[in-house]
Amino acid sequence: MRTTQFITSIKKQGQEKISFIILGAACEYKQKHLGPKSLLKFNNQLLIHYQVETIKKQYNDVEIIFVSGFEHNKILKHKTNFRIVENTTYFDSGEFEQVRLALQNIESDNVFIVTDTTTNLNFNIEKRSKIYISNNAKENPGCTSQKYVEHIAYGIQNNITKGFFFCKTELEMLKKYVIENKEKKYKLFLFEIINDLISKGAKFKAEEVEYENFIIS
């Protein structure tokens, strides 16, 4: 497993409250014998604890919601200053259901969504919806972008990271989308949801960030 020395910056002041959603319900094929990814070690601590501590160091007013699924009870034993929402249908559902469940539990009008393997959590957040991109996110889909992101798909340059910020119109569109499409689009990944939102008029800025993803070895 890769480790890195992460140097935190000064906590961002003067921002509105942000709800961080960590998508951690899924189980990858090589993961079953290791247990939940969030309980693996990163920089000498559990990955979930590293994520929570880093988020709280970076942002002044946050709530953190972790969406569990695979081996939920093990994660529950390590809950500290974050909340857990369980996705009991994690084996049959995609990121759509994780997002839907988390949105039902948020307490702010600004939502940042990451995955349980995101380790660089120092994002520049403004009052506009964003998709963060990096050349280091090589295994992720890419996007086309001029003023706003136009399309996300595999095989395109400008690889997206696993960091997405929703506010204002885009957050309201996301909330409506997961309510109206619960049955027919249950297995979608988040980038597929965003593509649908873009086709309906959502506007996301693309912003470059440093990126390093946790790798299960």
What's the pTM? 0.89
Residue 160 exposure: Cα atoms within 13 Å on the Cβ side: 30
Tally the domains of the chain.
Answer: 1
Judge whether 73 lies within some domain: yes
**In this predicted model, what pLDDT tens digit does every residue of 157-193 receive, in sequence order?**
999 998 999 999 999 999 999 999 988 888 999 999 9
Residue 177 within a domain: yes
In a domain, 159, yes or no: yes
Residue 44 lies in a domain: yes
SS3 48: helix
Give the DSSP H/E element, type plus range, for residue 68: strand 62-68
**pLDDT number for residue 8:** 36
Q: For 105-145, how does the pLDDT look when each residue is reduced to its tens digit (9 = 90+)?
A: 999 999 999 999 999 888 888 899 999 999 889 889 999 99
CATH number of the domain that residue 67 is part of: 3.90.550.10
pLDDT at 12: 54
Residue 4 lies in a domain: no
Residue 10 domain flag = no
Considering only CA atoms, which of 125, 100, 111, 150 is closest in space to residue 18? Answer: 111
Instruction: Say what the pLDDT of residue 126 is.
Output: 87
Q: Is residue 216 part of a domain?
A: no
Domain range spanning residue 36?
18-208
Mean pLDDT of the chain: 88
- The neighbouring-strand residues paired with 167 are 110
